[in-house]
Amino acid sequence: MSLTVYHHWRGLAEADKGAALALGSFDGVHRGHQKVICDAAEAARRLGAPLGMISFEPHPRMHFRPDAPPFRLMNPHQLARTLDQMGVDRLYLLPFGLEMAEFTDRDFVREVLVAGLGVRHVAVGFDVTFGKGRTGDPELMRRYGEEFGFSVSVADAAGDEGAKFSSTAAREALREGRPDEAAEILGRPFAIEGVVQKGRQLGRKLGFPTANVPLGDYVTPKFGVYATRTRLKDGRQRDGVANIGVNPTTGLVDARLEVWLFDFDEDIYGETIETDLIAFLRPEVTFKDAAGNFDVPAMVDQVHEDARQARAILGT
């Protein structure tokens, strides 16, 4: 990875300043965000400056609404990899806490962008806000640019047929079981990354071993079964079928991803994997017989039917 990640803005060496920066929350780096980054890249070429991006960790929403449901579309590692693939040189992933939350719009520009990062250009989206109370907007950023000596570009809304690409729209599509629509907004499939944890190994006993990954801070997709593609630690990719849910049949658990990797039977406990949600197959169901007992044959039959559908979709 050629991308350099910074977690602060104070005390940077002069060599680490002076970038053309895209500014935003960039959760998901969707196609609207990509337009802002392209504007920053054009300015970087024009100025002969590094291409950078400034975002915040934790996400400001986690500071202002700590009890809100999980909402992330990607974690910081995924963000860094995505930006690296896009040719971004620097990611300023700045801490968002009480100090940052209290900065006025002018404080933020003067202290963070100018004094801290020595910014040469700031690219923003048409709906950007910044500063305490979200008082800053694109026009105010233009005025600050004139005052402090950096150029500013403002990207128009990006979207199809008048509907803008947004993180909110991507989350809504996932919550409603439309991963294909989320992928259209994001420009790639929504992916869950996490460490494989050991479960009760019921799937292995029944002939379909699963890799279990907690959802953590990710937005919770619609509970149910999905056709998936998973990347392993060594770069190999495996198609599969996954259940996202709480296991109503065998005992409730925290919401998690349980993915059966086709044609694969290796011990990957403790490894980090990343799973793309490609297509939604069906909602999560409970397998009980007439007496209310766990109906193992019915579940096994359904899992194999799910796998057949997933293989057909994925071309496996």
Query: 82-123, pLDDT tens digit by residue?
Result: 999 999 999 999 999 999 999 999 999 999 999 999 999 999
Name the residue with higher pLDDT: 295 or 124: 124
CATH 3.40.50.620 applies to domain 4-160: yes
Segment 241-265 shows an average pLDDT of: 85
Give the integer Cα–Cα distance in Å for 109 and 103: 9
Segment 288-316 shows an average pLDDT of: 90
Q: What does the domain layout of the chain look like in residue ranges?
A: 4-160, 170-314
| DSSP string over 104-173 | -HHHIIIIIIIIIT--SEEEEETT--BSGGG-B-HHHHHHHHHHHT-EEEEEPP-EETTEEP-HHHHHHH
Query: 183-212, pLDDT tens digit by residue?
Result: 999 999 999 999 999 877 777 777 788 999
The CATH number that domain 170-314 falls under is: 2.40.30.30
Segment 276-298 shows an average pLDDT of: 88
Reply yes or no on whether the pLDDT at 249 is more than 60.
no
- CB of 159 closer than 8 Å to CB of 168: no
Report if pTM > 0.95: no
